[in-house]
Amino acid sequence: MEPDRKPRRTSDRGVPGNSWRTLDISPARFQSRGTIVVVTVMVLAVVLLLRLLQIQVFSTDTLASSAAEQRARPVTLYAGRGDIVDRDGRDLAYTMKASMIVAHPAELPTYMEDRYRLSPRTPENPDGALPPDQQLEEIITELPKMLQGDSSAVQATDLRKALTSDERYTRLVLNVDPDVAEKITTRFPELSADPQDIRQYPNGAVAANIVGKYGWVGDGVEGGQYGLELSQDARLQGRNGSYLADFGDGAVIPGTRRDEHPAVDGDSFQLTIDIDAQAYVQQQVQQAKDRSGAENASAVVLDAKTGEVIAMATSDTINPMGDLEEQVTEGKEFTNRVVESAFEPGSVAKVMTAAAAIEEGKTTPDEVLQVPGSIDMSGVTVKDAWDHGVVPYTTTGVFGKSSNVGTLMLAQRVGEEKFADYIQKFGIGQATDLGLPAETAGYVPDLSQWSGGTFANLPIGQGMSMSLLQMTSIYQAIANDGVRVTPSLIRQVTTADGTELPAEQREETRVVSPATARSVVDMFRAVNQSDPTGVQQGTAPSAGIEGYQTAGKTGTAQQIDPETKAYSNSNYWITYAGIAPADDPRFVVGIMLDNPRRSSDGSGGQSAAPLFHDIGSWMLDHYNVPLSATAAPRLILEAQ
């Protein structure tokens, strides 16, 4: 007998509860699975066809718009920076167009790899790319050669360091001619050329303390760094524009430029400065600083009638076209001490006491005062700079000889409240708003804060501080028939469309009457008077200018000792302010020497008077001012 045949079974061993099942290998089973596959393929085909229909028919506009958005980029239209010129239209600062070569180091390897893969260099494609490492070496080797002296030297080590860094953006070379920059970026598409404005200062250090400098201020941004370039930056720089365009292969696709907003160039400034006068005064100030041994020196020249600044010079002015770091190590400075530094003026400020006393009718120029060697005021004893007994000085002589005691005698007649009022009228303690940055207002204690010794100091120029510009403005008021005109530096502003905007009207303040102003100017001629016997000689005969009447005042103010916090007996501010000509004022000159060891001309003593003589003489000659019709009359300083 044949053994029983049983169907084979497969077992799911190890799975609890499973029983033996029969494996179905019938033709019907295979036919069912084939049907499922066919149906699945058909469904997928229908889905793909529907998606294709949606893309090609229904979503065409949307996708085209999306693609356009990916190609579209905003492009900046850079505004031109305004020029700065002197009173005669001569350039002080202007802009030249240039380019800078830049790179994106972090993205550079990927870009070079893609470029090499898409367009390798071959005999048939000589402009193609080399492998990334070789391409980098070619850039480092050839870029300096292509500049051909067009820009500052580029060191291969610097290029390698810059191009292999992880920076997203770096400037490789500045101040490149745009044509040269185009050749470089055509040969090396890995690099880019960004527009750059090169600010030019044709006069170098001359007037740099006024004009300032434009350059990098951080984070890839350019702007004013100091001077007018900083304070007037918003108006000088204008407003950038922009447009939108589509790009393909790194270039604008023709006909895609749209949404354009034109750039608006910055305003141009005409200053009151005379660049010839500025150059001369700046040279003289530097020489005075060097010859006197002063820590620094400054001078300013104002138009006696208008208050316009004709020259404003400080020693050791930095050259914006030179190496700034190197110059700083050599002691050059960015500051404009004429408006930024405050100091105690000393006796040069006695002109305010003189004006107040004459205006209030408390004295006359010829009154004889019996002036002792010292005076007590509210427990404070003040002496003159030289020992003497009672001397019969005229009021003119009190100021011609610079007697502290005689000045305080007259101040007592004026009184504290009236004197405080005159200080305010002369503009002390108030910034002049000249248009430059960091201008100091100086310091004058409020009348309510005056102590017993305050009134023993202020009338002789101690106990308050002022800028050199403020000090000189006092004398401008006296020279201008008693009217102080707030000093001005900006004469006119011209917009990009040529519209001329006159400078703001400067404030005018009637300080004293014309008669008082004339009397004070005449009295202060005594300061420059010489006398062989010395009796009728003023404190600064060396300030006198041949052929012209002049008036002025010397000043010596003690500085504060940083260790003792008291007035020093060895360190001084030496000042001078003068009017030329005195009989028909045209110019007012203010001078300050910081702790000099000799006179401004290098001679003995500590005086700024010789510098006034030189600056005043040059100004009168430069502007063809006629000689005084008559010589100054002999003034009586000490009654006989």
600 is catalytic: no
DSSP single-letter state for residue 635: P
Residue 498 lies in a domain: yes
Same-domain check for residues 335 and 372: yes
Q: List the single range of 248-257, 303-312, 343-352, 407-416 with lowest mean pLDDT.
A: 248-257
Please identify which of the residues 151, 341, 347, 628 carries the catalytic annotation.
347
Same-domain check for residues 430 and 527: yes
**Per-residue pLDDT reduced to its tens digit, 578-588:** 999 999 999 99
Same-domain check for residues 342 and 264: no
Q: What is the edge-to-edge ordering of all strands in the sheet holding 296-303?
A: 309-314, 296-303, 587-594, 567-580, 551-560
Question: Which of helix, strand or coil describes residue 132?
Answer: helix
Same-domain check for residues 337 and 189: no
Q: List the single range of 125-139, 142-156, 191-205, 378-392 with lowest mean pLDDT.
A: 142-156
Q: What is the number of domains present in the chain?
A: 2
Residue 62 lies in a domain: no
Q: What pLDDT sits at residue 2? A: 46
**Is it the case that residue 141 has pLDDT exceeding 80?**
yes
Same-domain check for residues 534 and 579: yes
Same-domain check for residues 318 and 408: yes
Residue 70 lies in a domain: no
pLDDT band of residue 155 (cuts 50, 70, 90) is low
pLDDT band of residue 195 (cuts 50, 70, 90) is confident
Among the ranges 112-121, 139-148, 549-558, which has the highest mean pLDDT value?
549-558
Pairing of strands 84-85, 567-580: unpaired
* Token digits of residue 334: 């960015």
**Is it the case that residue 188 has pLDDT exceeding 70?**
yes
**Is it the case that residue 4 has pLDDT exceeding 80?**
no
Same-domain check for residues 289 and 245: no
Tell me the residue ranges of DSSP E strands in 178-220: 192-200, 213-218
**Per-residue pLDDT reduced to its tens digit, 224-257:** 999 999 999 999 999 989 888 887 655 667 778 8
For the chain, percent of residues with pLDDT exceeding 90: 68
**Per-residue pLDDT reduced to its tens digit, 358-374:** 999 999 999 999 999 99
Q: List the single range of 71-75, 143-147, 462-466, 608-612 with lowest mean pLDDT.
A: 71-75
**Is it the case that residue 9 has pLDDT exceeding 70?**
no
DSSP single-letter state for residue 338: H
Same-domain check for residues 387 and 319: yes
More confident residue, 98 or 85: 85
CA dihedral 636, 365, 609, 306 (to 10 degrees): -140
Whole domain around residue 242: which residue ranges?
75-268
Q: What is the mean pLDDT of residues 39-47?
A: 74
Q: What pLDDT sits at residue 12? A: 45
Residue 108: give its domain's CATH number.
3.90.1310.10
